[in-house]
Amino acid sequence: MCNLKIHEYQSKKLLNEFGVPVPKSTIATDKETLLENFRDFQSKAVLKVQVHAGGRGKAGGVKLVDNSQDAVEFADKFFGNLFQTFQTGDESVVVNKILVEEASSIVSEMYLALLVDGSNQSINIIASPEGGTDIEEVASKNPEKIFSLPVNTILGPTDFHVREILDFLNLDKTLFAQLNKIIRGLYKLYLDKDCSLIEINPLILNDNNEIIALDAKITFDEDALFRNKDISELRDLSQENEVEIKAAELGIKYVQLKGSVGCIVNGAGLAMATMDVIQSAGLSPANFLDIGGGADEDKVSKAMSAVLSDDNVKIVLVNLFGGILRCDVAARGFILALKDSDGTPPKLIIRMQGTNSEEGKRILSNTKYNISFAENLDQISQILSSEE
């Protein structure tokens, strides 16, 4: 499943629509608008760069500002420039928008999230009194501070569930009504908009005894976007990988990774197994790619071109089971892409099983390219290990 990410300001707009309190804020796309919005908050506000990555605060992308000069410096530093956090790794993303938000007086910070738990086929509510920090670190060092509550998808969250979460977050019982409204609103948002994750970190209690979502991250199941055209319109292509965008337009599931072994596979399960084989051989996959079952020569060619466009790729591993996609069709598509590629094509490891597999291997054998054929995953692993 691929997920659509949206910005914090878009997430907060959705939260507000579903009854979840958020701070007052405006979005700026240039310095002049930012300054105007800043003055509207009596020249004291929190400025937040809007990118599809966590860790913005640690990277300097979130700042409490109480004068115009600092606001101008923040705008000049980030607008139109590349921004990097621990989540972006070696890559950077461009900052086109900055959120200008009223400053909040924080009494306590908490964590609240909703996500699918495949093991019990339910939506889980995750809560922690340790908000404002990396939840992975809390789970690792203090797992007792993480509360995971599976919710029956027919009944939804009950008053009993809310009381359990209220107690775990060490909130006063007088705050039950507020938390109840928030949890039910989040659950309705999750179902109505086909979310894959709603994460509020931190969820705060302010000095007015109000519970507010101070930050928000929401992702959506891309396969369900046909039901929510309004969510599709929130997509910001400037935050996404160009190759991934082009692949998506072709109906190819492609996610770029950091390794050196490019993958071309049909079927998500087979693709995951193939990536496991690469890891077990001591190498790392350069991408996840599911070409699908109904590809033709042109689509196969574009899939191969997408893999070859990654300069980190030193080996291309093809693992196909021919069904609707015939192996001979795939072979011709690969050759089209290899002929059009710049420079010397990398080594290819090919495993083909199923419809016209022998014909596909024959077609590829009659080329000049450096190809090793494998019959099973063990042979793939052995060939990869020899290339390590």
Q: Is 111 considered catalytic here?
A: yes
| 310 CA to centre of own chain | 20
Rounded Cα distance between 48 and 53, Å, is 12
Cβ–Cβ contacts within 10 Å for residue 234, how many? 17
Q: ∠ at Cα 330 (325, 336), nearest 5°?
A: 145
C-alpha torsion angle, residues 99, 217, 62, 166 (rounded to 10): 110
Q: Is 199 considered catalytic here?
A: yes
Q: Which residue has the tokens 């020249």?
A: 43
Rounded Cα distance between 139 and 67, Å, is 38
| 358 CA to centre of own chain | 39
DSSP 75-106: HHHHTTSEE--TTTTT--EE---EEEEE---E
Rounded Cα distance between 153 and 303, Å, is 38
Q: Which of 199, 222, 244, 254 is catalytic?
A: 199
Cβ–Cβ contacts within 10 Å for residue 171, how many? 18
**Cα separation values, 311 from 97, 128, 276, 316, Å:** 30, 42, 22, 12
Amino acid at 21: P
- The contacts of residue 354 (CB under 8 Å, 6+ apart) are 320, 321, 322, 323, 327
Q: Could you tell me if 157 and 183 are in contact, meaning their C-beta atoms sit under 8 angstroms apart? A: yes
Cβ–Cβ contacts within 10 Å for residue 297, how many? 17
Q: Which of 8, 109, 111, 130 is catalytic?
A: 111
Q: Could you tell me if 283 and 306 are in contact, meaning their C-beta atoms sit under 8 angstroms apart? A: no
Rounded Cα distance between 358 and 117, Å, is 42
What tokens were used for 256?
């770029």
Give the H or E element holding residue 287. strand 287-290
Q: Which of 127, 103, 108 is nearest to 182 (CA)?
A: 127
Amino acid at 309: S
Active site residues: 111, 199
